Chains A and B, each alone.
Chain A
Amino acid sequence: MISSLILCLMMGILIFFFVPLMSNFSISSVIYAVFLMYLYVRMTFSERKKPGSSAKYRSIFQITFAVGFCIAFIADLYASRGSMAITEGAMSSAEIPFCHIAIPQVLVPLLITKNIIFPARIAGHYASVASMLLIWLVCTIVLGRGWCSWVCFYGGWEEGFSKAGKKRRINLLPKNKEIREFSFGFFAFIVLASLCELACTYCEWFCPFKLVTEFSPIDSIPSLIGAVMFIGLFLGLVVVMPILTKRRTQCSALCPFGAFASLTDGISMFKMKIDTDKCKGCMKCAQVCPFGAIDIKTIQDKKGSPELTCAKCGECVRACPEKAISIGFRFDHKCGSSAQKSKTKFGRVIQELLEPAQLFRFAAFSFSVVMSSNFMTRAMNLIVRAIIK
């Protein structure tokens, strides 16, 4: 109890600093800070009752952030260039916002040509190349692929649609391995194509999120084909398939950043672990995993951890009736807490504070707070103004 209070107090200070204080105590920032605080308090205390129950609040945050981000981002575009379509002026001045999905596409050409193959600002903007690269680096070290389930401002769309359907209509569980292989194959293709073309191929042809952010003006046959692709992919992989499968299909099959984050997850500090002694093989975890990171083979072979594509969303922890899944330090090979329970109250509080799951949740939510504060405050302002009008 005391440890949860301490964590909430620390998060409160962090939220206070990054949300209302940074926005000079505007009403929308105060409301958003209260909302964040509510989520974190519920997350921390519900976890005490039932491990994994914090996943619900993570999900609420991510959906809200995705919608808020798109509102603020589109408003920015309209303010600066009057439309969601990329203007020739913005393109010729290299003022296209740079997002994390472009990172794996620019890294190999950067090593070879020493140049960024994307027409974005290098620094001095929230969506500049340098800032996104740094965020990616720090996030990879701390959260690994946890970015996708906690911080990604696009992931919330799929998260939302995957929760929209009541019943799973299509079961992708038997195809998990093939989907994973496809995602890594597609990632390799995108990296190679970007290197050959010296332009980000995924951004140009495949990114479905152009429908909710910005896109090239449709003024030629290739741009029309591009438009059909991104509208089709958004409707297919971000809306329809998540509803039917209750999975994040775009994230697990197509997103090159997702595949890249899976490959670099090995350097992160945390890892999901399956206690093979406790596991009864009920496969409930595999059924709920939105990223297809657990399948029959994972359980049968007693691998002790989900597959590479695990995004540490915590859905499996919530689903496991045996409490066999938990988050742990990557450098600890054992499952769960190896230390003996402290005899003193103070010792127990410290032990609880240093629980890997607590630390991971705190770091992930900190990322979420700082990444979202500016966008959400502006989005709320816009919504309020629209309602008043």
Chain B
Amino acid sequence: MSEKLKTFFRKIRIAGVVFTCFLGVSLFYIFSGNLTNIVGRYLHVLPSYLGGEVAGSVYDTTADDNGSGILVYPTNAAFEDGAMDIIRYTVHEPVTQGKWQKSSEYWQLVLEYMNGPAKVRNTMIYIDLDNLEGGSTEPLFDAAENVTFDMEHPWDFAVWICGGQAKVYDSEKNPIYQTEYYEENGGKVIKIRIPLWNKNLQAVYASRKTYHYVITGGYSEFDRGGFMPIEKRRTLSRGGTKSSKDYNALIPKIYDILGDNAQLATWNKDEFTKAVIHPVEIEMHPYFESGKPWHGEKSEQSEQAFINKVTEEYAKYAPNTENMFANVDDSVADFKQKLKENPDDYVSMAYYGSCLAIQGGQSSVIQAVALVNQAFEYLDKAAELAKDKPEEIEVLANRASVAYSVPNDVFMKTETAVADFTRIISLYKNGLSEEELAKPENKSAVAYYYTMLYLCHQRLNQETQAVLALQEAKKLIE
């Protein structure tokens, strides 16, 4: 290589080093959030640390925690809305040689509810393994929950979850042992890990299909099987029927079941038969057979198409703010003037905050951070002033949009966006009658806010909440 060429390459290398040292390190940290997310997509923790590969996950309809449509919660404030509303049930593959775990061989089941706390509910999971003969079609405790089980699928094991613990029983109704029990998110998520020391339970390793009956009622320590009785009229510690005419002694003491709640109405008072419930089928080992992890089945393209559709629908009816945000410098000046004239004009304050954030997006990095921080000072103050006022939705929509748009790794505002979109949806739902809600402008707005909520939850890796928000949006638009 000639001396000139060598000198040229040396200069190029030095230029690279200079750029890396003076700017590269800072740029890396500024964009590390995005880079981390990209790298994170290709990395997975060894499943045995996380409960094993997911065999199957079933979503349940939301807001169906009323039995077959006739039950109401006790009046005690501890029974928060949705505390007995099952929203998702996940069955994992059984784990062998799990490191750093309490049991090295275990089977994980995860139950997710709309709300906590866990202490108010009594949950039973009855499991039928396809490779075990026999089983029972009667509940674990006689006359406890007032149901019988599908004759095709008698249960082999029952997991009784209440009072901050879980126990596993065989179909002879003998306790086998206590399982690992974890509560997360204030009781919204219950994670059960069944140790697989028992020989019969080890049959799950070879099961091709498992059948799960998941039922939840109110918890009462002194009643049969822990199931809180249902009375004609609800009291502080007893659930009831919506109308005393609905009451019958055969009503299952179950507020929610995984699957169709209509099966809870199959009791017959003339023949004096209890409701028959059917299980949810979970195929085991799909990962090993298809070679693809379960979570690889997401159809991202169809989701994107749906989001575009919702955004278009919303844009048809939403107020046109294009001009305001297109000439952002003029808008900033306008709103500044308005705030000068009336410092408590919270609507202008919210738009001023949004405009500042947009200005930030068009500025250098240092200016951007300063402007976005300033924007949030205005947006937060506006939200505070607008609370319970007619313009609250408009103000919160501004803050939520900005909170979603700014990078979460730098500003940590996605949680704020979640809270604001949730509040906006509840304001729509509580403030409008059903007829008004059915109008296309309101329907498209609520669907849009649900979609935004979905995107926020996705960003925070809150998969269940994201799916639920998208489901709600789809209910409105499709």
Interface range on chain A (Cβ under 8 Å from partner): 35 or more
What are 9 A-to-B residue pairs whose CB atoms are below 8 Å? Answer: A16-B366, A88-B180, A92-B191, A117-B46, A118-B45, A119-B49, A124-B37, A197-B99, A362-B22
CA distance A18 to B460 in the complex (A): 23
| Residue A120 is within 8 A (CB to CB) of chain B in the complex | yes
Known A17-B366, A359-B21; contact A114-B44, beta-carbon cutoff 8 A: yes
CA distance A222 to B14 in the complex (A): 53
- Of residues 342 through 381 on chain A, the ones whose CB sits less than 8 Å from some CB of chain B are 354, 359-360, 362-363, 366-367, 370
CA distance A89 to B101 in the complex (A): 10
**Besides A115-B45, A367-B25, 11 other A-B contacts (C-beta < 8 A):** A91-B49, A91-B101, A92-B193, A93-B182, A94-B49, A129-B45, A133-B39, A204-B100, A331-B13, A359-B17, A370-B25
Interface readout for A3-26 with B: 1 if CB under 8 Å, 0 if not?
000000010011011100110100
| Residue A122 is within 8 A (CB to CB) of chain B in the complex | yes
CA distance A110 to B43 in the complex (A): 9
B37: A residues at CB distance < 8 A = 123-124, 130
| Residue A285 is within 8 A (CB to CB) of chain B in the complex | no
Return the contact of B26 from the options A14, A21, A133 (Cβ within 8 A).
A14
Say yes or no: B366 contacts A122, CB within 8 Å.
no
CA distance A329 to B401 in the complex (A): 47
| Residue B47 is within 8 A (CB to CB) of chain A in the complex | yes
Say yes or no: A94 contacts B191, CB within 8 Å.
no
| Residue B50 is within 8 A (CB to CB) of chain A in the complex | yes
Interface readout for B169-213 with A: 1 if CB under 8 Å, 0 if not?
000000000001011100000010100000000000000000000
| Residue A298 is within 8 A (CB to CB) of chain B in the complex | no
| Residue A269 is within 8 A (CB to CB) of chain B in the complex | yes
CA distance A128 to B44 in the complex (A): 12
Residue ID in chain B nearest A110 by CB atoms: B43
Residue ID in chain B nearest A269 by CB atoms: B17
| Residue B40 is within 8 A (CB to CB) of chain A in the complex | yes
A128: B residues at CB distance < 8 A = 36, 40
What's the dominant secondary structure at chain A's contact region? helix
- Of residues 1 through 56 on chain B, the ones whose CB sits less than 8 Å from some CB of chain A are 10, 13-14, 17-18, 20-22, 24-26, 28-29, 32, 35-37, 39-40, 43-51
Task: State the Cβ distance, B7 to closest chain A Cβ, in Å.
Answer: 10
Which residue, B35, B47, B51, B183, has most C-beta atoms of chain A within 10 A?
B35
B14: A residues at CB distance < 8 A = 329, 354
B39: A residues at CB distance < 8 A = 123, 130, 133-134
- Of residues 18 through 77 on chain A, the ones whose CB sits less than 8 Å from some CB of chain B are 18, 21-22, 24
Say yes or no: B182 contacts A88, CB within 8 Å.
yes
| Residue A264 is within 8 A (CB to CB) of chain B in the complex | no
Interface readout for B85-129 with A: 1 if CB under 8 Å, 0 if not?
000000000000101111000000000000000000000000000
Say yes or no: A138 contacts B25, CB within 8 Å.
yes
Return the contact of B43 from the options A129, A204, A362 (Cβ within 8 A).
A129
- Of residues 103 through 161 on chain A, the ones whose CB sits less than 8 Å from some CB of chain B are 109-110, 113-120, 122-124, 128-131, 133-135, 138, 141-142
9 closest residue pairs by CB, A with B: A123-B40, A199-B99, A363-B21, A119-B49, A130-B40, A115-B46, A366-B25, A130-B39, A359-B21
| Residue A193 is within 8 A (CB to CB) of chain B in the complex | no
Task: State the Cβ distance, B364 to closest chain A Cβ, in Å.
Answer: 10
CA distance A117 to B180 in the complex (A): 22
Give B contacts to A, CB under 8 Å.
10, 13-14, 17-18, 20-22, 24-26, 28-29, 32, 35-37, 39-40, 43-51, 97, 99-102, 180, 182-184, 191, 193, 365-366, 369-370, 373, 410, 460-461
B44: A residues at CB distance < 8 A = 114-116, 122
What's the dominant secondary structure at chain B's contact region? helix
Residue ID in chain A nearest B409 by CB atoms: A124
Residue ID in chain B nearest A371 by CB atoms: B29
Known A367-B25, A370-B29; contact A130-B10, beta-carbon cutoff 8 A: no
A119: B residues at CB distance < 8 A = 45, 49-50, 100
Say yes or no: B20 contacts A363, CB within 8 Å.
yes
Say yes or no: B43 contacts A130, CB within 8 Å.
yes
Say yes or no: B50 contacts A329, CB within 8 Å.
no
Residue ID in chain A nearest B46 by CB atoms: A115
- Of residues 161 through 198 on chain A, the ones whose CB sits less than 8 Å from some CB of chain B are 197-198
A216: B residues at CB distance < 8 A = 100
Say yes or no: A17 contacts B17, CB within 8 Å.
no
Task: State the Cβ distance, B415 to closest chain A Cβ, in Å.
Answer: 12
- Of residues 191 through 222 on chain A, the ones whose CB sits less than 8 Å from some CB of chain B are 197-199, 204, 216
CA distance A94 to B45 in the complex (A): 8
Task: State the Cβ distance, B222 to closest chain A Cβ, in Å.
Answer: 29
Say yes or no: B366 contacts A10, CB within 8 Å.
no
Say yes or no: A124 contacts B461, CB within 8 Å.
yes
Residue ID in chain B nearest A332 by CB atoms: B10
Residue ID in chain B nearest A92 by CB atoms: B182
Say yes or no: B32 contacts A91, CB within 8 Å.
no
A21: B residues at CB distance < 8 A = 366, 369-370, 373
Task: State the Cβ distance, B414 to closest chain A Cβ, in Å.
Answer: 10
A18: B residues at CB distance < 8 A = 26, 29
A362: B residues at CB distance < 8 A = 21-22
CA distance A216 to B20 in the complex (A): 40
Which residue, A114, A131, A367, has most C-beta atoms of chain B within 10 A?
A131
Say yes or no: B410 contacts A22, CB within 8 Å.
yes
B35: A residues at CB distance < 8 A = 134
Task: State the Cβ distance, B295 to closest chain A Cβ, in Å.
Answer: 13
Say yes or no: A363 contacts B25, CB within 8 Å.
yes
Which residue, A89, A92, A130, A216, has most C-beta atoms of chain B within 10 A?
A92
Task: State the Cβ distance, A366 to closest chain B Cβ, in Å.
Answer: 4
Residue ID in chain A nearest B366 by CB atoms: A17
CA distance A360 to B35 in the complex (A): 24
Say yes or no: B43 contacts A24, CB within 8 Å.
no
Return the contact of B369 from the options A22, A117, A118, A142 (Cβ within 8 A).
A22
Known A114-B44, A117-B46, A363-B20; contact A92-B26, beta-carbon cutoff 8 A: no
CA distance A120 to B29 in the complex (A): 21
Residue ID in chain A nearest B16 by CB atoms: A269
Task: State the Cβ distance, A220 to closest chain B Cβ, in Å.
Answer: 10
B24: A residues at CB distance < 8 A = 138, 142, 363
Say yes or no: B46 contacts A331, CB within 8 Å.
no
B50: A residues at CB distance < 8 A = 92-94, 119
B180: A residues at CB distance < 8 A = 88, 92
Say yes or no: B184 contacts A366, CB within 8 Å.
no
Task: State the Cβ distance, B70 to closest chain A Cβ, in Å.
Answer: 37
CA distance A110 to B28 in the complex (A): 24
Residue ID in chain A nearest B97 by CB atoms: A198
Say yes or no: B51 contacts A123, CB within 8 Å.
no
Task: State the Cβ distance, A221 to closest chain B Cβ, in Å.
Answer: 15
Say yes or no: B21 contacts A142, CB within 8 Å.
yes
Which residue, B18, B44, B51, B100, has most C-beta atoms of chain A within 10 A?
B100
Say yes or no: B26 contacts A370, CB within 8 Å.
yes
Task: State the Cβ distance, B157 to closest chain A Cβ, in Å.
Answer: 21
B49: A residues at CB distance < 8 A = 91, 94, 117-119
B182: A residues at CB distance < 8 A = 88-89, 92-93
